[in-house]
A and B are shown apart, each in its own frame.
Chain A
Amino acid sequence: MAKLELIQTLKKDNGRVWNVNWHPKGEIFASCGEEKSIRIWGKDMTGKWCNKLVLSEGHKRTIRQVAWSPCGNYLASASFDATTSIWDKKSGEFECNASLEGHENEVKSVAWSRSGQILATCSRDKSVWIWEVADDDEYDCAAVLNAHSQDVKKVLFHPEKDLLASASYDNTIKLFREDPSDEDWVCCGTLTGHESTVWSINFEGNGKRLASCSDDQTVKIWKEYPPGNPEGVATVDGDSTWKCICTLTGHHGRTIYDISWCPKTGLIATGCGDDAIRVFKENETSDPNAPTFDLICTVDRAHNQDVNCVAWNPAIAGLLVSCSDDGEIKLWNFVDI
């Protein structure tokens, strides 16, 4: 039997916690929310999780998302105050050394490319911005992408190449890449199928598939079919086609706010507006072009209110962190007996 065991409950924030993000080494994580500050959490001498640092005065309004750079030296924060801040520890202490401005209103999400040289942000102003890291603390806007017709909720880079995925209130997911001929960023795919807002997306560890979750209470799994694929899925202009190969319906009672695909175990966790956390496991004997995923564990009332974010630890298999509108952060250990 599979279950999530609660390890610890952390509460410090006043108000809703929107997001938690693991440092790439997996020993610390950052949280953010309505409180307008970022908290960094790690273990104390006795192995208990505790609040190590509070980064305040970086933003004037809610901080919607935080993201560590792949090298782990930088932390980016996206805020409703229309700016994105970059924090680093070069002086010995965490400081905000760059602020990216340009979006017309709330910045909803921020993501680093695998090299750490490109940053993406998205906003309620419907645009996705690509930033290139020029020099120390210098970020140049390389592209403003207006492909979405509504509020953009989430951006995320592919784990192995400079391919950007974005999810929107317009019910679609879009993919972007740089055009090598003129270095312009172009939209190279639109994934349609969700019937309402796509709140979050997460790539599988090897980047060959993408999971998405939506206000339509479903999870969808999308698979990359590169040009010349043996299945014969048509591709256009040398770009891969991403096709929905599985839809998980009937499991979630309200909007699904976040999804995390564990790079270590392949398990998929979801955070839902019905206060529950669910874990899905792929059925290994199912057809790779039409896989099935089984719901192997549900924690009802995982939190007292909506679960806003779930994140598997990148280094420690089975360690999950979640946060909620109830102001709490919880750490869970997945066990399969």
Chain B
Amino acid sequence: MPFDQLENQNPSVYHKSADRSATLEEENDSVVDEFDNREVFDLIRDINDPEHPLTLEQLHVVQEDLVHVNNGDNKIFVNFTPTIPHCSMATLIGLSIRVKLLRCLPTRFKVTVEVTPGTHNAEQQVNKQLADKERVAAALENTHLIKVINQCIAPRARA
């Protein structure tokens, strides 16, 4: 994606977490394997940042501790942390997380995606927009926008 100027020219880059190793219980097909925080985190950690060739995990935009799965109540809560408090990409990043989870998870889940409290100037506006499924639906019918989101979601080859 071409940008005239990077908003955050020098973001801090963090280490990626190790891949999840499957436990014996998980390899046993007779044991019910419920969704957990790590599994949902794995779905979103490799989403690309819109302006840097880095993943949301590498920029600490998403973190495993900020993903909460409640299987019984079919609820998933994801907080994401914009790299800078005035980040104009916050809605786009949140939308990418929503779309990725929408496509990957069973429809029974109610997914809430919100900015980590206190990390963005327009936190409330961004949260309200991301929670409005009508506006999200309209955005996803926008061919330009969906192209940009798909670029963010498409995983690059893991290094």
A326 CA to B141 CA, complexed, in Å: 18
B134 touches A153 (CB 8 A): yes
B137 contacts the other chain (CB 8 A): yes
Q: A169-B132, A197-B128, A215-B131 are in contact. Are A62 and B110 (CB under 8 A)?
A: no
Q: What are the residues of chain A within 8 A of B141 when measuring CB–CB?
A: 61-62, 80
B137 touches A304 (CB 8 A): no
A62 touches B137 (CB 8 A): yes
Q: How large is the interface on B (under 10, 10 to 19, 20 to 34, 35 or more residues)?
A: 10 to 19
A197 CA to B125 CA, complexed, in Å: 12
B135 contacts the other chain (CB 8 A): yes
A326 CA to B133 CA, complexed, in Å: 14
Q: A273-B110, A304-B108 are in contact. Are A151 and B137 (CB under 8 A)?
A: no
A177 contacts the other chain (CB 8 A): no
A305 touches B107 (CB 8 A): yes
A62 CA to B110 CA, complexed, in Å: 22
Q: What are the residues of chain A within 8 A of B137 when measuring CB–CB?
A: 16, 34, 62, 80
B134 touches A254 (CB 8 A): no
A80 touches B138 (CB 8 A): yes
Q: What are the residues of chain B within 8 A of A304 when measuring CB–CB?
A: 107-108
A106 contacts the other chain (CB 8 A): yes
Q: What are the residues of chain B within 8 A of A62 when measuring CB–CB?
A: 137-138, 141
In residues 247-263 of chain A, which contact B (Cβ within 8 Å)?
254-255
A108 CA to B135 CA, complexed, in Å: 10
Q: What are the residues of chain A within 8 A of B128 when measuring CB–CB?
A: 169, 196-197, 215
A306 contacts the other chain (CB 8 A): yes
The minimal Cβ–Cβ distance linking A103 to chain B, given in whole angstroms, is: 13
Q: Which of A124, A196, A306 is within 8 Å of B133, CB to CB?
A: A306
Q: A197-B128, A215-B131 are in contact. Are A106 and B138 (CB under 8 A)?
A: yes
Per-residue A-contact encoding for B120-153, CB less than 8 Å = 1, 0 else = 0000000010011111011001000000000000
Q: What are the residues of chain B within 8 A of A196 when measuring CB–CB?
A: 128
Query: Which residue of B has the minimal Cβ distance to A326?
Result: B107
Q: What are the residues of chain B within 8 A of A255 when measuring CB–CB?
A: 131
Interface residues of A (CB under 8 A from B): 16, 34, 61-62, 64, 80, 105-106, 108, 124, 151, 153, 169, 196-197, 215, 254-255, 273-274, 304-306, 325-326
Q: List the 8 closest A-B pairs by CB distance, nearest first.
A: A106-B138, A80-B138, A61-B141, A305-B107, A80-B141, A62-B141, A62-B137, A197-B132
Interface residues of B (CB under 8 A from A): 107-108, 110, 128, 131-135, 137-138, 141
